Amino acid sequence: MKLVIVESPAKAKTIQKYLGPEYVVKASVGHVRDLPKSNKKAIDIEKGFLPHYEIVRGKEKVLQELRALVRKADEVILATDPDREGEAIAWHLAETLKLPKEKTKRVVFHEVTQAAVTEALRHPRSIDENLRRAQEARRVLDRLVGYDLSGLIWKKVRYGLSAGRVQSPALRILMERERAIRAFVPETYWTITARTETPQKEPLTLTSEEEPRSADEVDRILRAARAGTWRVQEVKEATQTRAPRPPFTTSTLQQAASTRLGFSPARTMALAQKLYEAGHITYMRTDSPTLSAQARAAAAAAIEKEFGKEYLSPRQFKTKSKVAQEAHEAIRPTNLAKRTAGTTPEQKRLYALIWARTIASQMAAAEIARTKITAGPEGAATPPFAAHGSRVRFPGWLAADPAARGEDQEVPAVREGDTLTLLSVESEEKQTQPPKRYTEAGLVKELEKRGIGRPSTYAQIMKTLVDRGYVTKEGKTLIPTDTGDVVSTFLEKNFGKYVSDTFTAEMENELDEIAQGARAYTPTLETFYRTFSKEVREKETLDKLTTLGDAPPEYPCPRCGAAMVIKLGRGGKFMSCARFPACMGARTIEGKEIEPDKPIGTDPETGLPVFVLDGRYGPYVQLGEKNEKNKKPKRASIPKDVAPDSVTLEDALRYLSLPRTLGVHPDTGHEVIASVGRFGPYVVHDGDFRSLKEDDVYTITLARALEILSEEKKTRRGRRSASR
């Protein structure tokens, strides 16, 4: 029996169909080992940055099944993905399963088809130590940078924040654009449009090629335009060729899927993964746009059959990067004769995009006729007015990808000297616009251009920035948050070298060199970490960032009237009294009302006002005002899924009812209390804390609490309840 191990069950199922009964194909379900969360246990720096790996939680059962199969197998074939990550998974499997070298083989293929798998099995090799060391170097490097920088940010900015070797440069790029937007000063300008009619009574709209900056100049142009006789001054027509674009790489697929289909990079990669595992497309992590000879021949056959021989123009594209270190072919369909594939509408749409781009890349250039008509009032001192149009003379590759054509605007046929009838001429006041924020597709393109990250990392970069709360998404647009602003500013000011384009791109190149065997693992990390750790230690002397600056003087403290400062809390920026903690006055900013705090009602039991406030750790409710008699008013956090402006008096009093004393324990006489803590709702008795999974902390009874407390602490009550 020959055991083949791949990553995913879907891929295993597909490959099992291709192989005979002597093969058993099983999945590791991704990585089986990883670095532990604690950095103290993860990496032994003194022993040459030696990583300490642990079995990934939940993988014990998978490994147990694989060990049993290994004992029965005559041969073990590691067929994980053809990139660094796949090589690392193969190595971890070999190490964890203690596979003997004499019966272990490594095979790679870039498409899950019977021909590709069968061919790969004919050419096994050993595990590529350079590739897997490059993956290990990336993993260790990211952990060292993230752990050390994050630890410093916790101390100097706010607990819970993080930084990363690649995510932080990406955030810096977003913040550079955001600062340009903030600094932008709009200018007023006018567009002037003339509606005319040709001698053949066809409408022709022309626009002034100059955009005046003053109302007086606009009035002058309008008067002159209305006074003269309009004639066609020039007609220019030129044929332009539009060449097809290369087949998809990982980054260009993510960009096109975002702009054309509205998919996020993470969604695109998940869909592509499914198409790959089902055998419909080649491997989806690649920075090479090349096509194999077989693929080009298949494309040529499909083009001749579908469009005709005149549409065929075979070509090969070369990668722009110095090292295409992942799969060495572009993303393409495995069978170009199939125009549709996939099991869901989203998969089918992505496949259609990949098919069209692949086929189009081997087709003739499109021929576009572009026309420019220039006209104006005869003898008047006005800027020239122009109309632009285009039409397709020969569609070429656009026949396969018509969505890439755009909108063609035809202009009527006129000749120089023709008289035009002026119907109207109007002006529209506008303002120059600031630079646009990055979309996900735009940021992927920018990261690739600057050499930051690699194809397999782009989707994770986007996800991390959003998950950390550094960026929010409005449609496709990425908008840095207050937290992202503060973190990026801190890193740029104190660790500018490590979040720069140059450093990040050079580090990626060094990882590529490790993959090629041109650079050693330990010296590379030693050279980097010696300087980096020293700079981190030096920054330990920085003062803690307590304020972001002074608040505007027109917003004094609503409690004592003193000046306010701007701080960063879990809910974003907020204003706090400069006399804190003597005075706890605070106001919210960033789009929220900046007014003195007003109570939402009065507690009927105490007669004290109830406030909804925003502080360092987010929104909360407060009973009474802070003063000399009431130095520590009772407070309660507002649940994360509740909008502060929707909180009613009834809601606030319910939040303030915690902690609730449910009664006394019959065995000990000690109180049983229900409350909400750092890890969610709980009941506690005599130091014995039990999380509430299904019960409501506001309504739970003493009897139910005693039932929960009587269960064994390690018992997973959710499962027992389900079985009951």
Q: What ranges in 184-314 are assigned the alpha helix state H? A: 215-227, 250-256, 265-277, 293-306
SS3 27: strand
- For the question of residue 283 being annotated catalytic, the response is yes
Considering the four listed CATH numbers 3.50.50.60, 1.10.460.10, 3.40.50.1000, 1.25.40.10, the one that applies to the domain covering 140-183+436-541 is 1.10.460.10
Least confident of 392-396, 614-618, 691-695, 710-714: 614-618
Sorted by sequence, the CB contacts under 8 Å of residue 602 that are 6+ apart come out as 608, 609, 610, 649
Extract the tokens encoding 537.
């230690």
| 52-88 core/surface letters (b: 16 or more CB in 10 A; e: else) | ebeebeebeebbeebeeebeebeebbbbbbbbbbbbb
Give CATH for domain 188-243+366-431: 2.70.20.10
Give the Cα separation of 219 and 427 in Å (integer): 9
Mean pLDDT (whole number) for 257-279: 93
SS3 646: helix
pLDDT at position 589 is 63
Domain boundaries, the chain: 2-127, 140-183+436-541, 188-243+366-431, 250-360, 549-656, 660-723
Extract the tokens encoding 141.
């490097």
Give the Cα separation of 483 and 490 in Å (integer): 11
pLDDT at position 3 is 97
pLDDT at position 171 is 95
pLDDT at position 451 is 87
Is 564 or 588 the better-scoring residue by pLDDT?
564
In contact, 54 and 96? CB cutoff 8 Å: no
Residue 721 has pLDDT above 60, yes or no: no
Sorted by sequence, the CB contacts under 8 Å of residue 712 that are 6+ apart come out as none
Residues shown for the chain: 724
pLDDT at position 722 is 36
Question: What confidence tens digit (pLDDT) does each residue in 366-389 have?
Answer: 999 999 999 999 988 899 999 999
Mean pLDDT (whole number) for 586-598: 59
Is 406 or 701 the better-scoring residue by pLDDT?
701
User: In which order are the strands placed within the sheet that holds 2-6?
Assistant: 23-27, 2-6, 75-78, 104-106
| 322-339 core/surface letters (b: 16 or more CB in 10 A; e: else) | eebbbbebbbbbbbbeee
Is the dihedral angle over the CA atoms 410, 415, 419, 425 positive or is it negative? positive
pLDDT at position 22 is 94
Q: What ranges in 102-128 are assigned the alpha helix state H? A: 114-122
Give the Cα separation of 252 and 353 in Å (integer): 12
Query: What confidence category does residue 591 fall into, taking pLDDT thresholds of 50, 70 and 90?
Result: very low
Kindly list the distances between the CA atom of residue 408 and the CA atoms of 153, 202, 221, 390, 404, in Å, as whole numbers in the listed order: 53, 18, 30, 6, 11
* CATH class in words for 250-360: mainly alpha
Cis peptide before 552 (omega within 30 of 0): no
Give the Cα separation of 477 and 436 in Å (integer): 9
226-235, 564-573, 587-596 — most confident range? 226-235
Is 554 or 165 the better-scoring residue by pLDDT?
165
pLDDT at position 615 is 65
SS3 378: coil
Give CATH for domain 2-127: 3.40.50.140
Closest CA to 578 of 547, 554, 611: 547
The helix (run of H) or strand (run of E) holding residue 586 is strand 586-588
Query: What confidence category does residue 616 fall into, taking pLDDT thresholds of 50, 70 and 90?
Result: low
Give the Cα separation of 95 and 321 in Å (integer): 33
pLDDT at position 605 is 86
Q: To the nearest whole percent, how much of the chain has pLDDT over 90? A: 63
List, as own/partner pairs, every contact residues 370-373 make where C-beta atoms lie below 8 angstroms and the sequence separation is at least 24, other chains included.
Answer: 370/237, 370/238, 370/239, 370/240, 371/235, 371/236, 371/237, 371/411, 372/234, 372/235, 372/236, 372/237, 373/204, 373/206, 373/232, 373/234, 373/235, 373/411, 373/414
Per-residue 3-state assignment (H helix, E strand, C coil) for 647-690: CCHHHHHHHHCCCEEEEECCCCCCEEEEEEECCEEEEEECCEEE
Give the Cα separation of 407 and 142 in Å (integer): 45
Give the Cα separation of 447 and 320 in Å (integer): 14
Mean pLDDT (whole number) for 519-534: 94
Give the Cα separation of 508 and 515 in Å (integer): 11
pLDDT at position 183 is 92
Give the Cα separation of 353 and 400 in Å (integer): 10
Give the Cα separation of 690 and 715 in Å (integer): 11
pLDDT at position 715 is 45
SS3 372: strand
pLDDT at position 631 is 64
In contact, 372 and 195? CB cutoff 8 Å: no
Q: Which of 147, 276, 283, 311 is catalytic?
A: 283
pLDDT at position 409 is 84
List, as own/partner pairs, every contact residues 14-21 make where C-beta atoms lie below 8 angstroms and the sequence separation is at least 24, other chains included.
Answer: 14/112, 14/277, 14/278, 14/279, 15/79, 15/112, 15/117, 18/113, 18/114, 18/117, 18/118, 19/117
DSSP classification of residue 260: I
Query: What confidence category does residue 196 fall into, taking pLDDT thresholds of 50, 70 and 90?
Result: very high
Per-residue 3-state assignment (H helix, E strand, C coil) for 232-257: EEEEEEEEEEECCCCCECHHHHHHHH
pLDDT at position 723 is 35
Measured between its terminal Cα atoms, the distance across the chain in Å is: 44
pLDDT at position 686 is 87
Determine phi and psi for 580, rounding to 5 degrees.
Answer: -55, 135
DSSP classification of residue 52: -
pLDDT at position 617 is 64
How would you classify the pairing of strands 104-106 and 75-78?
parallel
SS3 22: coil
The helix (run of H) or strand (run of E) holding residue 702 is helix 702-710
Query: What confidence category does residue 571 fall into, taking pLDDT thresholds of 50, 70 and 90?
Result: low
pLDDT at position 453 is 84
Indicate the residue type of 244: P
DSSP output for 541-578: GSPP---SEEPPTTS--TTT---EEEEEETTEEEEEET
DSSP classification of residue 286: B
Mean pLDDT (whole number) for 700-707: 91
* Mean pLDDT of the residues in the chain: 89
Extract the tokens encoding 20.
């005979």
Mean pLDDT (whole number) for 207-234: 94
Is 677 or 533 the better-scoring residue by pLDDT?
533
Residue 636 has pLDDT above 90, yes or no: no
Is 720 or 72 the better-scoring residue by pLDDT?
72
Residue 713 has pLDDT above 80, yes or no: no
Least confident of 87-96, 183-192, 311-320: 311-320
